[in-house]
Amino acid sequence: MYGRVTGVTVLGVGGHLVTVEAFVGRGLPSLMFTGLPGAAVNDARDRIRPAVENSGLEWPLRRVVVNLSPGNLRKEGAGMDLPIAMSVLGATAQVPARALTDVAFSGELSLKGELLPTPGVLSVAIAAARAGIGTVVVPSANAVEAAQVDGLVVVGAASLEEVAGFLRGTWQAPRVTHRRAAPTPGASLDLSEMRGQHQARRALEVAAAGGHNMLMVGAPGAGKTMLARRLPTILPELSREEALEVTQIHSVAGLLRGDGLLRERPFRAPHHSVSIAGLLGGGAAVLRPGEVSLADHGVLFLDEFNEFRRDAVEGLRQPLEDGRVVVTRAVGSVEFPARFTLVAAANPCPCGYDGDPRKGCSCRPDRVQSYRAKLSGPLLDRIDLRLRIPRLTKDELLGSEPGEPSAIVRDRVQMARERQRHRLLDLGVTCNAHLPGPLARREARLDPAAEQLLARAVESMALTGRGFDRGLKVARTVADLEGAPSVSEAHLAEALSYRIGFGEQDGLARAG
Amino acid sequence: MDSPVRADAAAEHENQDVVPPGYPAGFGVGKGERDALLCLSTLRGITPRRLHTLAWEVGSARACVGAIRSGRAGSAADRDWIRAADATAIRGQLAACNGRLLGPHDDRYPAAFTDLLHDPPAWLFARGLVLEDGPDRVAVVGARKCSSLGREIAHDIGRRLGGIGVQVVSGGAFGIDAAAHRGALAGEGTSIGVLGSGLDVLYPRSSAALLLEIAERGMLISEYPPGQRAEPHHFPARNRLVVALSRAVVVVEGAARSGSRISVDHALDLGRDVFAVPGPVTSPLSETPHGIIRDGGTLIRGADDLLADLGYVSALAADAVAPSGLSDVEFRTWRALATTSLPDGIARTAGLAVPDAVTVLIRLELRGLVRGVGGRYERTLAGALGASGA
């Protein structure tokens, strides 16, 4: 009495094939698992028998052993319920063994035998397709998600009974309708809604074009959040691979609502009280992606940047450098993609009104100083664009012309990205922000007037070491936006304007 | 309950017109008297004014100690403090930070302090150079939380005063105070910092390096014994010493009800000249200077006006002109900066595209003629005074 089916367990965002074998032999009725089952899989022990019996099928009143292999891989997730049930049904010949080959199963069962929406189905489908398996059987709620993978027959079933029917050839799965979301990212938000803030709007464009991270310092209500929310609307559209990766992560996190591929770049804005696990990924039994991974290919917005826990912020260094985050816990170690643009925002001082021409700051100078000290640190070195966002007066608001719509800006961004990709092809980077320092100097290609300006900037102490490299990278992006082969004086000057001189306090070094 | 406060107030009222200025002969002279001064300096309840009255009632520092020990003067807490006071220990602490004790009949006790009719300090702790009565002294005071422009102006005034040998007196605090001290040192002049804490407590901590430099190239003075932390109520008392030491007081920036206003009240009591640098009428930091000007203080536009008014130079400041050596677009941009403005506003006024205006602004910024403040741009002091930008 032996049965064997294929399931998929999801670790991190990746799916791994698992061979599920069942043996029904002599002994007191029991169900036993071998082969490193995780907590959620062990849970299935008491769930599967009622599910089978409530589906008009029979549970063998004998000793059942289920083995999950490879044995060195920890099996996680409720998605293993269905393959385990099918292996037992196969072993007791309730479904034809022939029908169990070339099929992968995934889905969580209820006691009534229904198939419940299950996280990570996209990863399951991708793993199955990669292994050359022709058919996946998944909960009907996840069918659209699985159908995003090409070359795979997707069977969306609502219950265990339907799955059995499908294998016996007595039930046909309804056709999966590809309800792909129309590619209209950020339809609700547009850059043209920002009045005034010319410099900030332009800085967003530069950030999007060069992949630069950004820090905005300004009074409450100046518009920092409003600006940050509009960054995804001017980033290039997601490619299909990127969209798959984004969808996969959201699927694993259980945040997908069965809408097919995510076409919009994610925008994540965790509160500053977020835990390290919440920000970077983690968890006790199941390792879940954190905010950095949910923001993959999108924007991670950290408002009140210096209120975040120091260790959490330090943890951002790895994803900012490598585009991925490795989470290690007692249950194992997994890797999540985390390639995002960081937008940090902070008030200039605890009360928020330092530097405001009309409303005076009411903070004690030493408190301002310690508040700003929190803004420095190694992470700040990875932020190329820094700017003050002034709180506009009524006249300044009314006197400003409305900005360009996102679509026009995005076209320029896309062209600038294309130029960078072309130019940087041999260097193994895709955008200016990722250029290492020495290469930034070589790649910038300054014209004579720009050289002169740069020399002057270095002389007047406005620029030092890292600030120098940052300035060149940003200048290069400004030139790319214009399609200019070399960096002119105007490009460099604009780049130099995206820095913050915290010269307003005694004894404070310039943070730019 | 027998209230020492009420007794104090009554005594003060009775004696208001009869207490002579300064201190009785022999007060604080000789080792025993100086030890008594050290002990008295540890008291935190009795005011300088009350102590001054007491000194004239009983005649010597030792007798003052006796009066406080016996409970005839001071509070119950003062009585405990005077019992715990250890003159030798204080002398040791003082020596450790190179400080000296000055009694009111000491040669180096500034005669200017006797202008404080009711509350001249009965002792002083000094560190650094010798306090002489020769050179003129001018106080430069203002907001701790000041603007960049205010800091530049204070620095410039300090530098110019220091450059002609006038000593710059201030409180060693953040902002205007620190800028004035720094300016005086930059002008190779002498600066005097009057602290609201003991001489070995360098407060604010982040200005410790500056205060040490003042101690080396000028002097620090204080009414408080070594080890005494700065308390909020020390600063108004400290301000009276800053003013008394100086022939004139310059207020650069100050919000309403600021410490600078208290300094000016002292200056008016003592007959010192009062100068104030105006600012935008919309700025909260202009409130104290503008109040002073409306009350009859002298408006100065910067160091030139001050030096002329004090008689050190003859010519007043010239009217502001554009810096020399500007190109056409640079001049248009500079002229558009009459007030602090956004880059797009500047571009509109100057008739330039925004990126061009930004280029010019950065060029001007690198020449020190303009600066960015909270996302807007403004002229620097050098730019406003028309200094050559070459």
Q: What is the pLDDT of residues A196-210, one digit of tens each?
A: 888 899 999 999 999
The pLDDT of residue B1 is: 40
**Mean pLDDT over residues B169-189, rounded?**
94
Q: Would you call A404 an interface residue with chain B, using a CB distance cutoff of 8 Å? A: no
CB contacts of B374 in chain A (<8 Å) are 218, 348, 354-357, 388, 390
At B36-90, the pLDDT tens digits run 999 999 999 899 999 999 999 999 999 999 999 998 988 999 999 999 999 999 9
Nearest residue on chain B to A493, alpha-carbon basis: B359
The pLDDT of residue A358 is: 74
Shortest distance between the Cα of A493 and any Cα of chain B, in A, equals 5
pLDDT at A146 over 70: yes
Per the CB < 8 Å rule, is B147 touching A358? no
Per the CB < 8 Å rule, is B376 touching A354? no
Distance between CA atoms of residues A429 and A88, nearest Å: 50
The pLDDT of residue B85 is: 92
β pairing state of A332-337 and A341-346: unpaired
pLDDT band at B320 (very low <50, low <70, confident <90, very high): low
Of A202, A493, A494, the CB nearest to B363: A493
Return the number of CB contacts < 8 Å for A and B: 108
At A371-399, the pLDDT tens digits run 887 777 778 888 999 988 988 888 888 87
Q: Which residues is A300 bridged to in the sheet?
A: A268, A342
pLDDT band at A499 (very low <50, low <70, confident <90, very high): confident
CB contacts of A490 in chain B (<8 Å) are 355-356, 358-359
**Mean pLDDT over residues A475-504, rounded?**
85
The share of chain A scoring above pLDDT 70, in percent, equals 94
Stretch 150-189 of chain B: residues touching chain A, C-beta under 8 Å: 151, 174-175, 178-179
CB contacts of A358 in chain B (<8 Å) are 282
**Mean pLDDT over residues A402-413, rounded?**
92
CB-based contact B322:B331 (threshold 8 Å): yes
Per the CB < 8 Å rule, is B374 touching A355? yes
H helices within A353-503, ranges in order? 365-373, 394-398, 406-424, 437-444, 448-459, 465-482, 489-497
Per the CB < 8 Å rule, is B356 touching A490? yes
pLDDT at A429 over 50: yes
Q: Would you call A361 an interface residue with chain B, using a CB distance cutoff of 8 Å? A: yes
Q: What are phi and psi of A292, to 5 degrees?
A: -65, -35
At A242-251, the pLDDT tens digits run 999 999 999 9
Ramachandran sector of residue A197 (left: φ over 0; alpha: ψ -120 to 50; beta: rest): left
Per the CB < 8 Å rule, is A504 touching B148? yes
Per the CB < 8 Å rule, is B374 touching A199? no
Burial class for A50, CB neighbours closer than 10 Å (0-12, 13-18, 19+): middle
The pLDDT of residue B84 is: 92
Cα torsion angle, A135, A136, A140, A146, sign: negative
The pLDDT of residue A61 is: 94
Of A363, A390, A457, the CB nearest to B374: A390
**Mean pLDDT over residues B6-13, rounded?**
51
**Mean pLDDT over residues A133-152, rounded?**
92
pLDDT at A121 over 70: yes
Nearest residue on chain A to B144, alpha-carbon basis: A365
pLDDT at A34 over 80: yes
- The string of DSSP letters for A167-229 reads HHTS--PPPPP--PPPS-TTTT--GGG-BS-HHHHHHHHHHHHHT--EEEEE-TTSSHHHHHH
**Long-range contacts of range B228-234, CB-CB < 8 Å, 24 or more positions apart?**
B228/B197, B228/B198, B228/B201, B229/B197, B229/B198, B229/B201, B229/B203, B230/B195, B230/B196, B230/B197, B230/B201, B230/B203, B231/B196, B234/B196, B234/B197
Other beta carbons less than 10 A from residue A401's beta carbon: 10
Under 8 Å CB-to-CB from B55, ≥6 apart: which residues? B23, B24, B27, B61, B64, B122
Other beta carbons less than 10 A from residue B333's beta carbon: 29
Under 8 Å CB-to-CB from A362, ≥6 apart: which residues? A351, A353
At B207-259, the pLDDT tens digits run 899 999 999 999 999 999 999 999 999 999 999 999 999 999 999 999 988 88
Distance between CA atoms of residues B326 and B332, nearest Å: 9
Specify the DSSP class assigned to residue B127: E
**Mean pLDDT over residues B187-191, rounded?**
93
CA-based radius of gyration for chain A = 28
Pick from B332, B302, B333: nearest CA to B316: B302
The continuous run of DSSP H or E covering A19 comes out as strand A14-25
Shortest distance between the Cα of A502 and any Cα of chain B, in A, equals 9
Say which residue, A335 or A503, is predicted with more confidence: A335
H helices within A45-133, ranges in order? 45-53, 81-91, 121-130
Distance between CA atoms of residues A156 and A142, nearest Å: 7
Q: Give, in order, the Cα–Cα distances in Å from A166 to each of A128, B100, B301, B314.
A: 19, 100, 91, 105
Q: Would you call B345 an interface residue with chain A, using a CB distance cutoff of 8 Å? A: yes
Nearest residue on chain B to A370, alpha-carbon basis: B206
pLDDT at B17 over 80: no
- Mutate one of A366, A458, A504 to test the B interface: name it (highest B CB count within 10 A): A504
CB contacts of A368 in chain B (<8 Å) are 145
Under 8 Å CB-to-CB from A133, ≥6 apart: which residues? A6, A17, A102, A103, A104, A152
pLDDT band at A65 (very low <50, low <70, confident <90, very high): very high
Q: What are phi and psi of A474, to 5 degrees?
A: -65, -40
Q: Would you call A399 an interface residue with chain B, using a CB distance cutoff of 8 Å? A: yes
**Mean pLDDT over residues A58-86, rounded?**
93
Buried b (16+ CB within 10 A) or exposed e, B7-38: ebeeebeeeeeebeebbbeebbbeeebbbbbb
pLDDT band at B12 (very low <50, low <70, confident <90, very high): low
Distance between CA atoms of residues A105 and A152, nearest Å: 13
The share of chain B scoring above pLDDT 90, in percent, equals 66
The separation between the first and the last C-alpha atoms of chain B, rounded to the nearest angstrom, is: 74
pLDDT at A181 over 80: no
pLDDT band at A102 (very low <50, low <70, confident <90, very high): very high
Distance between CA atoms of residues A496 and A467, nearest Å: 9
Q: Would you call B365 an interface residue with chain A, using a CB distance cutoff of 8 Å? A: yes
pLDDT at A496 over 50: yes
Nearest residue on chain A to B143, alpha-carbon basis: A365
Of A366, A400, A493, the CB nearest to B358: A493
The pLDDT of residue A258 is: 60
The pLDDT of residue A369 is: 79
Nearest residue on chain B to A399, alpha-carbon basis: B345
Other beta carbons less than 10 A from residue A119's beta carbon: 22
Stretch 428-467 of chain A: residues touching chain B, C-beta under 8 Å: 453, 456-457, 460, 462
**Mean pLDDT over residues A223-235, rounded?**
93
CB-based contact A152:A135 (threshold 8 Å): yes
Q: Would you call A363 an interface residue with chain B, using a CB distance cutoff of 8 Å? A: yes
Distance between CA atoms of residues A465 and A437, nearest Å: 9
β pairing state of A214-218 and A385-389: parallel
Mean pLDDT of chain A: 88
Buried b (16+ CB within 10 A) or exposed e, A277-299: bbbbbbeeebbbbbbbbbbbbbb
Burial class for B6, CB neighbours closer than 10 Å (0-12, 13-18, 19+): exposed
Distance between CA atoms of residues B104 and B27, nearest Å: 7
CB-based contact A459:B363 (threshold 8 Å): no
Cα torsion angle, B60, B65, B69, B74, sign: positive
Stretch 277-336 of chain B: residues touching chain A, C-beta under 8 Å: 280, 282-285
The pLDDT of residue A505 is: 34
**Mean pLDDT over residues A8-26, rounded?**
94
Distance between CA atoms of residues A439 and A437, nearest Å: 5
Tokens representing A403? Answer: 């900005």
Q: Give, in order, the Cα–Cα distances in Å from B200 to each of A310, B87, B144, B204.
A: 34, 17, 21, 12
Say which residue, A342 or B203, is predicted with more confidence: A342
Q: Give, in order, the Cα–Cα distances in Å from B65 to each of B28, B46, B151.
A: 12, 12, 44
Burial class for B127, CB neighbours closer than 10 Å (0-12, 13-18, 19+): buried
Q: Would you call A348 an interface residue with chain B, using a CB distance cutoff of 8 Å? A: yes
The pLDDT of residue A178 is: 62
- The four Cα atoms B319, B323, B328, B329 give a dihedral, to 10 degrees, of -100
pLDDT at B158 over 80: yes
Q: Is the peptide bond before A485 cis (omega within 30 degrees of 0)?
A: no
